[in-house]
Amino acid sequence: MEKTLEKSMEETFRVPGVAGVLCADEHGLCLSSKGIAKKETAGQLASLARQAQQLHPVNPSPVIAIEADGGTVLIKSESDITMAVYKSPMS
């Protein structure tokens, strides 16, 4: 799983506009991070994903988008992994 996770993260990080990627387990433990994604935020990101699942029980894995002037963070939890993708603002 570790090699598959790293490969997926590397592929995602190479997409134009992606400034960071983070993966956390179901307990909020950071499995890996690249770019501007901070390991310390893994717990909060996993918690947001769990809360979103409770808000929308019909869709068990919603995508959360947090937008700000500095860019967008997309968060999705699937199985036991939460992934956050940090995107740079469009120029």
Domains parsed from the chain with CATH numbers: 2-87 (3.30.450.30)
Cβ-Cβ contacts under 8 Å for 18 (sequence gap 6 or more): 12, 35, 85, 86, 87, 88
Per-residue model confidence as pLDDT tens digits over 31-75: 999 999 999 999 999 999 989 888 877 877 899 999 999 899 999
pLDDT band at 1 (very low <50, low <70, confident <90, very high): low
pTM above 0.95, yes or no: no
State the sign of the Cα–Cα–Cα–Cα dihedral 49, 50, 51, 53: positive
Bridge partners, residue 30, by sequence: 24
